[in-house]
Amino acid sequence: MIDLTLADDVATIVLNAPAKLNALDEQALAELDAAYVKAEAAGVRALVLRGEGRAFCAGRDISGVDPRDDDVMGYLGGLVTPLLQRMSLFPAPTFAVAHGACLGVGLGLLIATDVVYVAESAKVGSPFAALGATLDSGGHALFLDRLGAHKTLDLIYTGRLMSGAEAVTSGLFSRVFPDDEVAQATADAAATAARGATAAFLASKELIARIRDERLTLWDAVGIENAAQAALCDTDDYREGFAAFQEKRKPEFRGR
Q: 224-232: list long-range contacts, CB under 8 Å, 24+ apart.
A: 228/203, 228/204, 229/203, 231/203, 232/199, 232/200, 232/203
User: For each successive 10 residues of the chain (256 residues), what is the average pLDDT?
Assistant: 96 97 95 98 97 94 78 89 97 97 96 97 89 87 95 94 96 96 97 94 94 93 92 88 88 85
Find out whether 11 and 39 touch, Cβ atoms under 8 Å.
Answer: yes
Q: What pLDDT shows up at residue 84? A: 97
Q: What pLDDT shows up at residue 64? A: 79
Report the distance separating Cα 73 and Cα 92, nearest Å. Answer: 29
Q: What pLDDT shows up at residue 128? A: 83
- Which residue blocks in the chain are alpha helix, DSSP H? 26-41, 72-75, 81-88, 105-111, 139-147, 149-158, 164-169, 182-194, 198-214, 218-232, 236-247
Q: What pLDDT shows up at residue 76? A: 87
Q: What pLDDT shows up at residue 63? A: 82
Report the distance separating Cα 57 and Cα 14, nearest Å. Answer: 11
Q: What pLDDT shows up at residue 67? A: 78
The pTM of the full predicted model, rounded to 2 decimals, is 0.93
Q: What pLDDT shows up at residue 233? A: 87
What pairs with residue 15 in β-bridges?
2, 51
